[in-house]
Chains A and B, each alone.
Chain A
Amino acid sequence: MAKADFKVPELQEFIEVPLLEEGTMAHSHPFHSKPDFQEPLGYPGELVENWEEKAIEKMGDLLGKYRSFQVFLDSCVKCGACTDKCHYYLSTKDPKNMPVGRQDLLRKVYRRYFTLPGKYFPKLVGAVDLTKDVLDDWYSYFHQCSQCRRCSVFCPYGIDTAEISMAAREIMDSIGVGQKYCNEIIAKVYKIGNNLGLPGPALADTLEGLEEDVYDETGVEVKYPLDQKGADILVVTPSADFFAEPHVDGLIGYGKVFHEAGVSWTLSSKASEAANFGMFIGSYENMRRISLRIREAALELGVKRIVMGECGHAWRVAYSFLNTLAGPFDFLDPNYPVPQHILEFTYNEIQKGTLKLDKSANDDKVLTFHDSCNVARASRMGPKPGGQFEIPRAVIKAVCNNFVDMDADTIQEKSFCCGGGGGLLTDDLMELRVKGAQPRVTALKNAMDDSGVTHMAAVCAICKSQFTKVLPYYGLDMDQIVSVHQLVSEAIILTGQKSDEDEDGEDED
């Protein structure tokens, strides 16, 4: 672990609501995007000359397009229900990280230009002009929101701060003020096909390596096919699944499940990314362009179904928006949901009894489950409400003997964000990421102390990378975070697999 040049919060027994301390995070802001990353997304390379005018024009445009945006700006009554619900506020004490404080950064400008009292009596209604200082505040604090939507669960009006953050980022991009991390990545998707910039040959080499590894370990030829025309299922997964740990252990698990289910499947070099950072920057146009790659790949490969891998916000985009962004998907088999989550697929196979599972393979662990924000609060799985909470837990319990949930106030729809979502998973925001993880890590640590939990499973590439990085700051181990399909992979006994006695207990960790 790298040395911290900021104070890592101490873990308390409970998640405490702190006293306000103004400006503790005013210094935090991510690197600015360069013209090279702005232009492929359709944005000006740098701050445009008449930016004040253009920004207000863009705000008006968004108000006209998204009714929700205007309702959210108009309806807050300052009741205070949201104030202690944001993980960044709880860990930084900065009042501008209270959801209402964050919303007001934009609301006060909205009032000045779009409401009658704000136009004539700005001081009376807290309306202000859009100045460079206000813009700098926006850049800082709208990049301290992980768009996790926990606050919206508690707001009596359902005001969604994530949507306000997205709008703020879209306004800033439109005047040439972009964030490097998100925009460089989106430009890479257009150029190469995925967030990492993994070209086809590297992808093929990596997958071939996985086939070798699984064969060495099990004696079974499990395939990880790429660009295979005529396969039934197109699997779209975050490119981190090819690259990082513990992500890749999950990908190995998907392959084993498909192998045992006896279906034909393929990955695609064109749609080699499930993530869609267009959502993080609030850009419908970019979200659509990224989504269309999935449609194109599905048509070119002639598949009948689409299954999404373990990625939180990708599942929100896929479940909630894919049909309008890139549909209609009338060329796919109507007997299956479009798209389907890998967990739904695995859960169904478990119900059908096609998988031979040995739970004891995970007896060295006591598991808990981290509900990823976009899965928990912005989508669903399976046919029943709450399926997004039940199905991951049912799969874990089918492959592990030991499972314990964390504190009820920190899971399911009340889940605390990992601290790195919403386009903030970048090293230049490490202080924010470490601090933002505190509420989740507190709940995890309590589950470790009270119930002997050893590992936390997740279904989101961002969560997995974030915890791998930040857990060591709190004295925990980086490999305490695991993929759900990594657990499946451990427990599954492949048809014809060599038995344990043939092996000498070699383990990759």
Chain B
Amino acid sequence: MPIEVNGKTLETDEEGYLANINDWEPGVADVMAKEDDLELTTEHWDIINFLREYYEEYQIAPAVRVLTKAVGKKLGKDKGNSKYLYGLFPYGPGKQACRYAGLPKPTGCV
């Protein structure tokens, strides 16, 4: 199921994750969000950008607690929790937000 982003055709796997992380550009998140009927706000972008920065350093998505803590520090304690993240990304911050950010899907018992 390839996706069209700014005139380019990008390969994805059967679950809609980018086949090649280096193909990512901001337009990828916009296109994927559109398919989910989701409008990306600056709050969404804060999360997506954090995921990408963390991945660049550690080659893995951050643990939920690492993510909520970072969000809490940046946006205020009331937002540093899973409920806030699920509000933004109803399919789950780990899975939906990672997909938008071009990261591979977290696997395992999660």
Contact = CB atoms under 8 A, between A and B. Distances in A.
Nearest to B63: A243
A491 interface: no
Q: How large is the interface on A (under 10, 10 to 19, 20 to 34, 35 or more residues)?
A: 35 or more
B108 interface: yes
A196 B83 CA distance: 23
Given A198-B60, A202-B59, A427-B95, A238 B69 contact: no
Nearest to A243: B63
Interface in B35-91: 57-60, 62-66, 68-69, 77, 81-83, 86, 90-91
Main secondary structure of the interface of B (DSSP, over half): loop
A202 B107 CA distance: 15
A243 B58 contact: no
B93 to A, nearest CB: 10
B109 A465 contact: yes
A386 B14 CA distance: 44
Interface in A89-113: none
A1 interface: yes
Query: Which of B60, B64, B77 is packed against the most chain A CB atoms within 10 Å?
Result: B60
Contacts of A239: 108-109
B52 to A, nearest CB: 15
Contacts of B68: 508
A1 B106 contact: no
Interface residues of B, number: 29
A199 B107 contact: no
A115 interface: no
Contacts of A185: 107-108
A199 B109 contact: no
Contacts of B108: 185, 194-196, 238-240, 243, 275
A428 interface: yes
A245 B59 contact: no
A209 B110 contact: no
Contacts of A201: 57-58
Contacts of A243: 63-64, 94, 106, 108, 110
Contacts of B104: 197
Main secondary structure of the interface of A (DSSP, over half): helix
Contacts, number: 96
B65 A209 contact: yes
A342 to B, nearest CB: 16
A425 interface: yes
Interface in A217-258: 238-240, 242-245, 247-248
B106 A245 contact: no
B92 to A, nearest CB: 8
A31 interface: yes
Contacts of B14: 31, 428
B66 A184 contact: no
Nearest to B15: A427
A248 B58 contact: no
A195 B109 contact: yes
A2 B91 contact: yes
Nearest to B72: A508
Contacts of A508: 68, 81
Contact of A248 (B15, B59, B65): B65
Interface in A162-212: 181, 184-185, 188, 194-199, 201-202, 205-206, 209-210
Given A199-B58, A244-B63, A247-B109, 11 more contacts: A2-B90, A188-B107, A195-B109, A202-B62, A205-B58, A209-B63, A244-B94, A245-B82, A248-B64, A461-B110, A509-B82
Interface of A: 1-2, 31, 181, 184-185, 188, 194-199, 201-202, 205-206, 209-210, 213, 238-240, 242-245, 247-248, 275, 311, 425, 427-428, 461-462, 464-465, 469, 478-479, 506, 508-509
24 contacts: A2-B91, A185-B107, A195-B108, A196-B110, A197-B107, A199-B58, A201-B57, A210-B65, A213-B69, A238-B108, A239-B109, A244-B63, A244-B64, A244-B110, A245-B82, A247-B109, A248-B64, A275-B109, A427-B15, A428-B15, A461-B109, A465-B110, A469-B92, A478-B82
